[in-house]
Chains A and B, each alone.
Chain A
């Protein structure tokens, strides 16, 4: 089975991200593989282990995004490809889907293309379904488990109301959620292999795509309003006394 895991590089979730001079700044916090995409790599590796085949990690980003791909390689991916082009600086999700679709075709297609549910930066969660639409493949979104029998894929999709069990024929595009299983830690051997790997870098020309004109653009960036964080500690001799005081405070706030 040929599997492609699509990943992105984002600032670490511990980073103090703020708006500064109209730009997003994360200080000197490290850039890491998008945490949701670690589940995509994990899901891809599980599929490879169950059905043999290969896992290719695919990323759009600057040269530095090779580090995120190396993380995927260290986890166990067989190959990695970076699509990098100065014309991709203001990419929106529709553009990203078109570029990914072109890169997937250049790789030679796949039986499964796996995404994380969303990225930590933009957080729109649109690219997986948009890539499926561009490729004309079935979309199995928010999969908490994946089972393949012959050419049929069955997933348990995690939705607000519970689980929806869906089935489609390969090839498919999937996005996965945490229930797929904790992402494995890179092994020592994996890290060594990743550090030596040569990661091909493809330009838009290489994948036969033109620079997509962004449809969605940012016009302004702001920091969230600072909340008054004056805390009042509630104390008392007994839990009942504390609870009594706290209940009065909550009711007085008129939020119920």
Chain B
């Protein structure tokens, strides 16, 4: 059984769940890692260290920046190569890029893509995938009759293999294919790398972070500006705890719609579905759209001043209280206990 694993990276920075995909591929047999880009030798070397049996590197100036069309064509041409070389399965981490390039390559190869899967079992020479649908309210098992089967894996759903530094392996250069249909003009002011899907700890804030009456906004702000300013002070407390615990900052829809924090931080329905080991919800009441996005966290802690907030129905530990007092106290207590 041969599996291709697409190693997704941004300017050489690898999406960690790429390695989880590599580990999964190894459990089925031979794993060939695919690395696309320009000047990506370091990524190829890492793929060997994480256990790839072979690495195919398409190093080409047309692949310097991700563009869906060339990445999809390069992938499809590799997968369609001589049948002795062709894979039964192609695995990807689930990212903005991989959803697109897998989608397009599936059209070229006349096969399908199973997205955001949390389980995968071999069944003869095919596979059965487990994936959440309807925002995780229901789980389906699904199969793909095309070949190769393509699947994007959910972050943190599969174990990450050990890295053996300095390990050597076969790295083969392969050609890029296809024609780009767009140009990359640059990269906009980043909203800060937010990778909720891979975070082991997420501390999230909701509408409640803007409700600190003891703060006096700087003079000259209108009501809305003052609200956002207050919320940003609240999110500073959220961020402090998240950083201490080595985690990411999340937010409810109310918080992103209020302009308190960029959309990239949103957990839930229109945002990201996450499953960290620890999820701390501060000032989030817990609308169903938020709950479906975080209820698979291993441990959920809720802090809210409203004892009837629905978030408490989902949490293991709850505190009814003022997040502006509890969060900094929790950060202090954690600092002390973790010896940081």
Contact = CB atoms under 8 A, between A and B. Distances in A.
A97 interface: yes
Nearest to A175: B100
Interface range on chain A (Cβ under 8 Å from partner): 35 or more
Interface in A216-256: 216-224, 227, 229-235, 239-240, 242-244, 246-251, 253, 255-256
Contacts of B30: none
A207 interface: no
B186 interface: yes
Contacts of A239: 321-322, 325-326, 328-329
Contact of B139 (A217, A221, A255): A221
Nearest to B325: A239
B319 A139 contact: no
Nearest to A19: B138
B318 A250 contact: no
B224 interface: no
Contacts of B332: 240, 243
Secondary structure type dominating chain B contacts = mixed
B260 to A, nearest CB: 14
Contacts of B142: 216-219
Interface stretch (B77-85, B111-119, B160-168): B111-119
B298 interface: yes
Given A215-B145, A223-B138, A253-B299, A94 B278 contact: no
A221 B289 contact: no
A132 B183 CA distance: 16
Nearest to A136: B181
Given A93-B112, A133-B107, A215-B112, A18 B277 contact: no
Contacts of A19: 138-139
B4 interface: no
B188 A247 contact: no
Interface range on chain B (Cβ under 8 Å from partner): 35 or more
Contacts of A43: none
B231 interface: no
Interface in A109-162: 120-130, 132-134, 137-142, 144, 154, 156-162
Contacts of A242: 319, 321, 326, 329
B298 A255 contact: yes
Contacts of A182: 257
Contacts of B254: none
Interface string B250-268: 0000001100000110100
Interface string B99-134: 111111011101111111000000000001000111
A133 B72 contact: yes
Contacts of A192: none
Contacts of A223: 138-139
Interface stretch (A9-17, A70-78, A198-206): A9-17
B322 A126 contact: no
Given A121-B133, A162-B187, A255 B104 contact: no
A163 interface: yes
A179 interface: yes
A213 to B, nearest CB: 8
B338 A256 contact: yes
Interface stretch (A46-54, A60-68, A81-89, A164-172): A164-172
Given A129-B104, A139-B68, A243-B330, A35 B185 contact: no
A140 B107 CA distance: 17
B141 interface: yes
Nearest to B303: A246
A18 B138 contact: yes
A244 to B, nearest CB: 5
A129 B193 contact: no
B110 A246 contact: no
B269 A141 contact: no
Contacts of B115: 123-126
Interface of B: 10-11, 13, 15, 65-69, 72, 95-97, 99-104, 106-108, 110-116, 128, 132-146, 181-195, 200-201, 245, 256-257, 263-264, 266, 269-270, 277-278, 288-289, 295-296, 298-299, 301, 312-322, 325-326, 328-330, 332-334, 337-338
9 contacts: A123-B133, A137-B181, A215-B111, A218-B142, A224-B136, A227-B314, A242-B321, A242-B326, A248-B337
Given A94-B106, A94-B110, A133-B104, 18 more contacts: A17-B134, A35-B269, A36-B270, A93-B113, A140-B182, A141-B96, A163-B189, A163-B191, A164-B65, A215-B145, A216-B113, A229-B314, A239-B325, A240-B332, A243-B329, A246-B330, A247-B333, A255-B299
The list of the 10 closest CB pairs from A to B, nearest first, reads A162-B190, A163-B188, A243-B329, A138-B181, A216-B112, A220-B141, A247-B333, A239-B325, A129-B103, A168-B182
